[in-house]
Amino acid sequence: MNFNSEIDSTTTLREGRFFGFPDPVNDVAARTVAAGVVIEVIALLITRNRLIFIPLCYGFAVRLMAGPKISPLGLFATRVAAPRLANHLKLVPGKPKRFAQGIGVVFSFSAAALALLLHDFTPAAILLGMLGFAASLEAIFGFCLGCKAFAILFRLGMVHYDDCPSCVVE
């Protein structure tokens, strides 16, 4: 059993419930998931095949609710891809990553709604471009825009230390 699956298992057991987000999170696995999101977004932008919204939206929704436990992309990242990468384990607080998944839910579902309701794909493409840009920053540079937004909310007092004791805000 690799360390990543141990993190997922112990977090699930510790929380005592199926729906919960791991804390800490393997940042390398999170970056791998972001790379998968970039691929999905590029496929959507190139093909405009609205069926690709299904795995994109489903992935963000289930990762928000349950972490990688029922996300095919999350499972691939935590159990297959990340363990095979050099320096494959870098633990970071889970709450900011969960917040970032929530932002992904808003952008992916909004883009899907626009693509389905409008005859013009342009508004959906703009949202997908923004989502793809943010996911690219995470995948390539390890720069999580959602995590930075979470840190700003932390500094503004909208997120309290009790909500995320493991968060370190620089």
Classified as helix, coil or strand, 147 is helix
* pTM, 2 dp: 0.85
Per-residue pLDDT of the chain (170 residues; tens, 9 = 90+): 333 444 443 343 344 567 888 888 999 999 999 999 999 999 999 999 999 999 999 999 999 999 999 999 999 999 999 889 888 888 898 999 999 999 999 999 999 999 999 989 999 999 999 999 999 999 999 999 999 999 899 888 888 777 676 775 44
CB distance 8 to 67 below 8 Å: yes
Where b means 16+ CB within 10 Å and e means fewer, 79-112 reads: bebbbeeeebeeebbbbbbbbbbbbbbebbbbbb
**Of 66, 50, 135, the residue nearest 98 (C-alpha):** 66
Please state, in angstroms and rounded to a whole number, the distance separating the CA atoms of residues 42 and 48. 9
